[in-house]
Structure 1
Amino acid sequence: MELEAIPGVGAKTADALRSLDDPESALERGDVAAVAGAPGVTEGRAARIVRNAIRARHDDPGGFLATDRATEIHERVLSLLQDRAVTGYARQRLRTFYPSAADSRIREVNEFAERAVERDPDPAVVEALDGVEPLSRPAGLSVRDRCLATTDAETYSEAQDVFPELSVEVVEDARGLADLARGYSTVVALDEAFVGVEVDGDVRVEPDALDRPEEVVPERVLSFFATNRDRIRAAVEVHEAAGLETDVDLGELDDALAQLEGDGSVAGDDELDRLTVAVNDLDAAVGTAESVANDRLREAIQEQDVTIEGADLLSLVERGAGVDSLLSRELADEYADAVAAARDHLVDSLDLDGSEVDIAQRAFPDEPTFPVDRDEEAVSRLREELTAARDRRAAERKRDLAATLADLREPTRGLVNDALDLDVELAVARFAEDFDCVLAERGGRGFAIEGGRSPLLDVAFEDVDPVDYGVDGVALLSGVNSGGKTSTLDLVAVVVVLAHMGLPVPAESARVPEIEELHYYAKTQGTLDAGAFEATLRDFAGLTEGASSRLVLVDELESITEPGASAKIIAGILEELHEAGASGVFVSHLAGEIRDQCGFAVTVDGIRAEGLEGGELVVERSPVKDHLARSTPELIVEKLADESSGSAGAAADGRSDGASGSGFYGRLLEKF
């Protein structure tokens, strides 16, 4: 897919996306976190880009959620799904699931959901997921112990682009290489002209280095794994807990990670550790060795009785000799022993080996002197030798470990991505389990829900009464206040939204219409003024055009104006929707009046109230077909009439019939 073909992705954003390792793959799998890694792309924008890429792939024009209330239902459902995700990746990935009219998109998510609901949300897996995050690219990697060298300006420019971590230098000849070799542990010459040139130091002629960047800079691979080590290990734990298959040899990966320090250096190498300690402790060891020699020599001098004949003393003085000559003459053996002790201490404390011992021997001179002092040139030579050996060893170990990890890099990406995708699946599985969900069927003009329970109610889900409700075409839904009309409408919207997202719905079974738009109008607060009323009528006038592809849910539209006018307006709207072949439910307290105004036999369903108990309504939550429900005032008058009738019989002797309370409530009840 061309990036610029994605709606909302211009040239600048496309360039930012191309900076990713594989933007097309990230968009294909819906990886919001990876897309958000592009410069200047936030997570919210990344989610929109991924959704738009999905729409482009399925030729989906969008616009399914046609009203604010429909959008609100989707957001609340999405929030319930996200609450069941562990990782931030999964929460963002779930934002790419949206209600669609595109059959291919719905079927794609259906297939995903069928796999997801088979997952077992094992607490051990959920706990392990807590440490998994998308892999990140190391920032600010800089390698200072080596450089690249070339005589060519074009090669210089290309090398700077390929190796931002290294210094790239322009040289004129072999002398320039030699100068660089004195300042860097390793110099990589990029020109074939340098083949065969002999230069002191670690100078390598590698004309193909630009084609092998991760071999020249193994720190790239090591830094990647060091930065992501905890995330990778968490993903391994998820795979082991969930029993997921993987292309990665988990034992080999664990062994390789164990050799890696948090800063990207190599761990677990005794020789490298020895050389590192030697370099770090050299000055302290030399100082201690000096003290060893001087302490022994001082003690020898204090214990020695030195006798010098007059002629000898005169001869020494005439020659300008000092204490060194005296030491050489009288304490030569003691001095040799003190120096030997210093040398032994230096070798032993730094655990020196091979040629390092020979250089260390020269750190203290054979010629007697007091106090014994180091040979700075020899110490400096030893430091250079140890540092060079350490760097060579580190580079060798880095290359070896990087070669192992480089082969594991892509499989490891898959390992982590699979763990993150498992979290998305488990979120859907937990949602389906928590709300007793099934996949809905699509087809027909209306909807049919059996055993549906809305997850949006402010009560525990297990306390929600199941609802059976279905409508073909358009219908009116009547019922008492607080009887469940709005929650029934919400349930229909939730089922339709989830079904068109391709996800399971909270019902025992459900069928929804194949529609292009959901129009859900919430209850308005108070009567609208003339301008708002006119705007509302314009909305519904537009709604009736092409209404066969829409599901219309309306909650108490009569509140927009006076009741008498409302009944006529709603009846007119229903007639238009009926003629257009639309599906819809209008909740109204004026169902009877609207039915009388309609020019067709509109279906009136009702949420039947069985009465009042202790001042609380007792209702049958599932709407009854072709039933005009009684109102709350009627139920209250009926209750009062029943109570008055009973009390009137008990007190008939003391009252006239005209004064009977039951007569008043009875006559009032007859008005309904």
Structure 2
Amino acid sequence: MDFETIPGVGEKTAAALSELDDPARALEAGDVAELARAPGITEGRAAAIARAAIRRRHDDDGDFLATDRAREVYRDVLSLLRERTVTAYAGKRVETLFPTSSASRIDEVREFAREAVERTPESDVLAALEGVEPLEPASGLRVRERCLATLDAERYAAAKDAFPELSVEIVEDARDLAELARSYSTVVALDETFAGVDVEGDVRVRPDAAENPDEIVPERVLAFFAGNRGRVQAAADVHEAAGLDAPCDLDALRDALSRVDEDGTVVGDEELDRLAAAVDDLDTAVSAAESVANDRLRDAIRERDVTIEGTDFLSLVEQGARVDSLLSRELEDEYDAAVEAARDHLVETLNLEPEEADVAVRAFTDDAAFPVERDEEMVSRLRTELKAGRDRRAARLKRDLAADLATLRAPAEEMVDSALELDVELAVSRFARDFDCVVPEFDGEGFVVEGGRSPLLDVAFEAVEPVDYGVSGVTLLSGVNSGGKTSTLDLVALVVVLAHMGLPVPAERVELERVSELHYYAKTQGTLDAGAFESTLRDFRELADGEANRLVLVDELESITEPGASAKIIAGILEALDEQSATAVFVSHLAGEIREASSFEVAVDGIEAVGLRDGELQVNRSPVKDHLARSTPELIVEKLAGEDGSGFYDRLLEKF
């Protein structure tokens, strides 16, 4: 697959994508988590790549949202979805959902949404999702007690690339190999030539090392699971709470995870713990054993009367006052007992095995001396043997645990990805439930919205009054100020955007035409200057020459210039859109004037104010078809006329 054919993907990004196991599948599925595993690609960038790949696959030009206001509505939709995600990943993943005119893409997402709304967003599932994040590769790993060795320069270069965690050495013969074995706990020879060579130390001949990296560097697997343990465990919790089929035995997975510490160390093995503690405590234990021996010997000397004949005393002086012979002759039994106590203390304190104890007892000599002192050579030998035993045990445990975890890596990745995708599904489900959504029907022309309620209003959703409205063709929408004309346009735009994303919409029923573009023009603040006015007219000129199946929503275009001129300009625009058989809703306070200036019968709908109560408008939020709504001033004059019998207000009322 040529990744550079995807819009926005250059040579560097394409090279990064090619390092994935199956990038074509990830792009096909919009798998943001997998794409983000490519080197140097963040989740945000992965979402953009996935979105571009989806557009390319469905032949979508990305022009559906044709105006700034249309794009604002889409951003509002994304915000509502993101607010209902738990993970940062899902917040990025929802960005791969976008409005389009592509029937295949809409159907694809509608199928996803149908399954998503069946999900129940249980609180324990949402709580478990808080710990789920995309898995991270192990980084910065360095293993210093093991090295690779080879006779061949090319094999050396390949090993350097394949095993960055290890030192790789060039050797010329078995003598060099033996020298390495004295410096490293384990040497892995990559050449078949060394098979059968007798070298002291832990030397393994593995020509197949590159094909079995987890066996050569088990720390790689352990570091991966150590760094991602919390995420994997959280994903397992999500599967259990949501009743999802896990891709592996969760008990076995948790057991394996419990055996690796957060730094990648194998834990939970009593023998390894014993050896590690013995190495760490050796010097302290030896010092304590010396104290045991000397305290006993000192006490014995205090309690004994030792008689020294003159010739013996003279001999001791001549020998430099050594007491070895005196101890041997007078306190032999006490010395032996003191040394035996020291040995017992050392063996018991370090919990040594019999073969280790054989070395430990030689840390204190049988030759009488005071004070009793360790034999440093024997202590060093004991330390070496304990370390070797510890490292051998740790290496075997690492290999065994890494072998177990290696078989669980793919299932763990699948489980985490499933949990993250579940968060996306639950966000759609929560959106649909929170806003009483329904799956829209693509049928007929224009749009019909029944019981629509916009979640974009600055009131609690429960307090939003439902709106019924449908339009086919070109229509003017009239109504009083603050009657809900703009919010009705917002509702229509929201429904159209969601429907063309393939998602449920906040209404009791929606039927609409699949349109090619949404043009939504927001209300202009104040009269435009000549340049801005000209630019606006150019926009509408291009709109009038465009495709027939666009939806055009315009809010009070008359504010761009003087009312008289505005009515004529809007009438001309409506005529062009009518010739296209386009669907358009223009909100205007000049509906009557525009209708008079138009060369065709313009439909006029009205949001009717039913009266005033305590100074507040009482409004029927659903537009009335074929009805020019009364203005707020007319309602106020009508109210005053009913309260005053002078006839003044009646004459004013006749002017409307």
- TM bin (shorter chain): over 0.9
Matched residue SS, 1:611:
strand
Aligned counterpart, 1:27: 27
Does structure 1 residue 666 correspond to structure 2 residue 650?
yes
Aligned counterpart, 2:85: 85
Superposed, 1:622-637 pairs within 5 Å as: 622-637=622-637
Aligned counterpart, 2:606: 606
Superposed, 1:46-57 pairs within 5 Å as: 46-57=46-57
The percentage of aligned residue pairs carrying the same residue is 70
Shift of 1:310: 3.2
Matched residue SS, 1:606:
strand
Matched residue SS, 1:605:
strand
**Contact conserved, 1:547 with 1:581, CA < 8 A, in 2?**
no
Aligned counterpart, 1:650: none
**Contact conserved, 2:359 with 2:382, CA < 8 A, in 1?**
yes
Shift of 1:194: 0.8
**Contact conserved, 2:149 with 2:171, CA < 8 A, in 1?**
yes
Aligned counterpart, 1:391: 391
**Contact conserved, 2:159 with 2:210, CA < 8 A, in 1?**
yes
Shift of 1:39: 4.2
Matched residue SS, 1:71:
helix
2:333, 2:19 → 1: CA distance? 72
Q: Report how many residues are paired.
A: 656
Matched residue SS, 2:85:
coil
**Contact conserved, 1:218 with 1:399, CA < 8 A, in 2?**
yes
Matched residue SS, 2:160:
helix
Shift of 1:268: 1.1
Aligned counterpart, 2:494: 494
Shift of 1:198: 1.0
**Contact conserved, 1:144 with 1:167, CA < 8 A, in 2?**
yes
Matched residue SS, 2:127:
helix
Q: Mark the runs of 5 or more structure 1 residues left unpaired by the alignment.
A: 646-659
Does structure 1 residue 590 correspond to structure 2 residue 552?
no
1:53, 1:440 → 2: CA distance? 26
Aligned counterpart, 2:295: 295
Superposed, 1:306-385 pairs within 5 Å as: 306-315=306-315, 322-385=322-385
Aligned counterpart, 1:240: 240
**Contact conserved, 2:285 with 2:350, CA < 8 A, in 1?**
yes
Aligned counterpart, 1:63: 63
* Inter-CA distance 29–371: structure 2 relative to 1 (3 Å threshold): farther
1:28, 1:361 → 2: CA distance? 69
CA offset digits 1:489-542 (Å, max 9, x no partner):
000000000000000000111122211111000000011111111111110000
1:225, 1:45 → 2: CA distance? 25
**Contact conserved, 1:547 with 1:577, CA < 8 A, in 2?**
no
Q: Which amino acid aligns with 2:85?
A: A
Aligned counterpart, 1:652: none
CA offset digits 1:319-361 (Å, max 9, x no partner):
6672122222222222111111111111100000032111111
Shift of 1:312: 4.0
CA offset digits 1:83-114 (Å, max 9, x no partner):
11111111111111110111111111000100
Q: Mark the runs of 5 or more structure 2 residues left unpaired by the alignment.
A: none
Shift of 1:643: 1.1
Aligned counterpart, 1:440: 440
Aligned counterpart, 2:566: 566
Q: Which amino acid aligns with 1:2?
A: D
Shift of 1:445: 2.7
Matched residue SS, 2:527:
coil
* Inter-CA distance 316–20: structure 2 relative to 1 (3 Å threshold): same
Q: Which amino acid aligns with 1:27?
A: L
Matched residue SS, 2:131:
coil
Superposed, 1:509-524 pairs within 5 Å as: 509-524=509-524
Q: Which amino acid aligns with 1:614?
A: D
Aligned counterpart, 1:653: none
1:535, 1:219 → 2: CA distance? 65
* Inter-CA distance 36–409: structure 2 relative to 1 (3 Å threshold): closer
Matched residue SS, 1:552:
strand
Q: Which amino acid aligns with 2:84?
A: R
**Contact conserved, 1:90 with 1:421, CA < 8 A, in 2?**
yes
Superposed, 1:101-500 pairs within 5 Å as: 101-315=101-315, 322-500=322-500
Moved more, 605-614 or 36-45: 36-45
1:617, 1:335 → 2: CA distance? 109
1:170, 1:469 → 2: CA distance? 80
1:589, 1:433 → 2: CA distance? 37
Aligned counterpart, 1:654: none
Matched residue SS, 2:610:
strand
**Contact conserved, 1:190 with 1:206, CA < 8 A, in 2?**
yes
CA offset digits 1:268-307 (Å, max 9, x no partner):
1110110010011011111111111111111122222222
Matched residue SS, 1:581:
coil
Q: Which amino acid aligns with 1:549?
A: N
Shift of 1:27: 3.1
TM-score for the superposition, normalised by structure 1: 0.95
Shift of 1:255: 1.1
1:563, 1:395 → 2: CA distance? 86
**Contact conserved, 1:73 with 1:493, CA < 8 A, in 2?**
yes
Q: Which amino acid aligns with 1:303?
A: E
**Contact conserved, 1:278 with 1:351, CA < 8 A, in 2?**
yes
* Inter-CA distance 611–547: structure 2 relative to 1 (3 Å threshold): farther
Matched residue SS, 1:548:
coil
**Contact conserved, 1:178 with 1:200, CA < 8 A, in 2?**
yes
